[in-house]
Chain A
Amino acid sequence: MAKADPAVPAGSAHPLSRRRPLGDRVFAIIALASGLLVLVILVLIAVSTSQQASSWFTTEGLTGVFSTTWNPGKNQFGAVAFIYGTAVTAVIALIIAVPISLGMALLLTEVVPRRWSRPIVYVVDLLAVVPSVVWGLWGILVLAPWLQGIYNSIASGVNGIWLLGTLFGGDNISGASFFTAGLILAIMITPIVTSLTREVLATTPNIDKQGAYALGATRWEMIRGVVLPHSQGGIVGSVLLGLGRAMGETIAAALVIGSSATITSHLFAPGYSMPAVIANEFGEASGEFRAALMGLGVLLFAFTIIINVIARGVVERSARRSRGA
């Protein structure tokens, strides 16, 4: 067999051909197609779900879609109660999870010696590995009953007090509520917010930190003066990503939120959210009911895409700025 000519790529059309060999081109096309698949899927999601939900949009119109009345029996499908529930539980989750995640991220980057950070990160990862449905199971069978007693004590204590009463008051409280859902969501988004925040904090240039220490700063003063200002853009991005996650978390919320489409300021009252109602009711729904639930899915998709795009943009911009600085 003739010795392979090094100037000729294996499998080419003919010696010294300028055109790339067939196998190479096919591979490139397959790779491109796989990459484009992401874009195709996203577009298909938007199109197919909107199509399924179209009867809801056309029947209810804009005012109907954004009304507060949700009554499947009377064919009334207003989405506001669920948007409200999604927002409230997500905000509760953020209020609880962000300080904790930030504290953990600072602990890992600034306080704990390198040797100990690995085991601690493992623990946080374990939190992420527990499936959503297990959190939900534990939530409804263990946490909610336990919280019920606590909720009732708090509520009876603050009933009537301005602001505290409106938020934490109420009577005949069961464990499944906005607050319980927010609590479980907080636990579930902590790992990702912690890990993203950690990445951002770790980009603080060491020489800036030394500058602060050289001025006689304590560790907290150094963090306040150098690390946090440097990382604020990235932290905002991480928080937004956590928000997106909290909004979309379905199963755990579906089990502990209380399944009641009411809008109330009482956080210990049962409520409902977009993903939760879809999960619980879609199976039995048909006709416009089903279209309405699909429409809630469309809204959820739109909200999370927007939040994720903004969040990723913020993270990338702050990373670019810190690299250039």
Chain B
Amino acid sequence: MAVVADQPNVDLREPPSWRRTKNRIMTWLMVLAFVLVVVPLGFVLFTVIAKGASVISWQFLTADIPINVMPANVGGMGPAIVGTIEITALATVIAVPLGVLGAIYINEYGGKGLLAQVVRFMADVMTGVPSIVMGLFIFSIWTLHYGFSGLGGAFALACLMLPIVIRSTEEMLKLVPDSLRQGSYALGATKARVTMTVVLPAALGGIVSGALLAVARAAGETAPLLFTILTVTTVNKNVFYGPNTSLPSQIFANASSAFTGAQARGWGAALTLIVIAFILMIVARLVTARFARYSS
């Protein structure tokens, strides 16, 4: 029978307490980081919902914007909602096709070439350009010549959305397996046909989802619109001509006001804006989930 080799003190219990404690402290610090993130988020959402809900009504969503001194139950944010919708929609129509095409260039045509690398790098850099600079840019080349309009605002928002759409689309295109392309080429298709009929449909869900997130970002932007649409309080159904307004613009204007009525309307507008952004985000996630089911 073999002799069991043992040592005077085979102690397999916990390591020295200072090591265990340090490990535990660091873990709790990481959890603290999460808590510190959740707290302001919860705070803001709670405040917006609490203060905004009392103001929201069908009348609020459709009525005209009154002057600031008016109490909270007068008027609403109708023109701002109309403005947000039409300006953001116009910006989307400009930015998304251009962004998708740009991503197609980088991923499908540019390949490893220097130009494609430069374009991709600069698209990344462009996502970091402050939104107010985009506003100043469009002011310089458009508004000074053609006046304030929703179109100018849309251009500024489109500049903001373009690099975002390019990068997210490019990531989606990269995921499309090369075998799909090879199969299409082998059938004699041209590159354009391969891209439009095989690659794009395969990546479509991800592209749409990425575009929706860019739209959500644009809908919430104020700075690019400051000098391009000239925040007014009347509704302007013509997005191509004449000053306009948007939800973020109104919130910005009302936030600096001393009147409680204006502030209350600001909270209502903020709630509306958050709801819009959240809906877009949720739809984007749904699209991603549905897309994942169809791919692979």
The residues of A with any CB-CB pair to B shorter than 8 Å are 6-11, 20-21, 23-24, 27-28, 30-39, 41-42, 44-45, 48-49, 51-52, 99-104, 106-107, 111, 120, 123-127, 129-138, 140-142, 187, 190, 194, 216, 218-221, 223, 241, 244-245, 247-251, 254-255, 275, 278-279, 282-283, 294, 297, 300-301, 304-305, 307-309, 311-312
Contact = CB atoms under 8 A, between A and B. Distances in A.
Contacts of A36: 119
Contact of A31 (B105, B134, B159): B105
Given A23-B190, A41-B159, A283-B226, A245 B26 contact: no
Nearest to A241: B128
A131 B124 contact: no
Interface string B252-280: 10111000000100110010011001100
A39 B115 CA distance: 10
A284 to B, nearest CB: 11
Contacts of B115: 35
A300 B133 CA distance: 8
B132 A278 contact: yes
27 contacts: A20-B190, A23-B192, A24-B191, A27-B196, A31-B104, A34-B98, A37-B98, A39-B118, A44-B137, A45-B129, A45-B134, A48-B137, A100-B37, A107-B31, A107-B33, A111-B27, A127-B41, A129-B278, A130-B274, A131-B273, A132-B221, A141-B266, A218-B19, A218-B22, A275-B223, A283-B230, A294-B140
A135 B44 contact: yes
Interface string B112-130: 0001101101111110111
B93 interface: no
A251 B137 contact: no
A297 B98 contact: no
A62 B227 CA distance: 27
- Closest 7 pairs between A and B when the two form their complex, measured CB to CB: A131-B220, A248-B130, A103-B33, A35-B105, A34-B101, A27-B192, A308-B128
Interface in B1-42: 15, 19-20, 22-23, 26-27, 29-34, 36-38, 40-41
A254 B40 CA distance: 19
A312 B124 contact: yes
Interface in B173-198: 187-193, 195-196
B106 A35 contact: yes
B141 A48 contact: yes
Most buried by B among A28, A31, A130: A31
Contact of B263 (A42, A123, A141, A221): A141
Contacts of B210: none
A129 B178 CA distance: 34
Q: Interface range on chain B: under 10, 10 to 19, 20 to 34, or 35 or more?
A: 35 or more
Contact of B30 (A111, A123, A300, A309): A111
Given A23-B190, A283-B226, A312-B121, A49 B251 contact: no
Given A34-B98, A138-B47, A297-B133, 16 more contacts: A24-B193, A27-B195, A31-B108, A35-B115, A45-B137, A49-B140, A127-B37, A129-B216, A129-B274, A130-B44, A134-B251, A134-B273, A137-B267, A219-B27, A249-B130, A255-B252
Nearest to B19: A218
A66 to B, nearest CB: 20
Interface of B: 15, 19-20, 22-23, 26-27, 29-34, 36-38, 40-41, 43-45, 47-48, 98-99, 101-102, 104-106, 108-110, 115-116, 118-119, 121-126, 128-134, 136-137, 140-141, 159, 162-163, 166, 187-193, 195-196, 216, 219-223, 226-227, 230, 248, 251-252, 254-256, 263, 266-267, 270, 273-274, 277-278, 281
Contacts of B188: 6-10
A39 B122 contact: yes
Given A129-B281, A278-B136, A218 B20 contact: yes
A303 B177 CA distance: 39
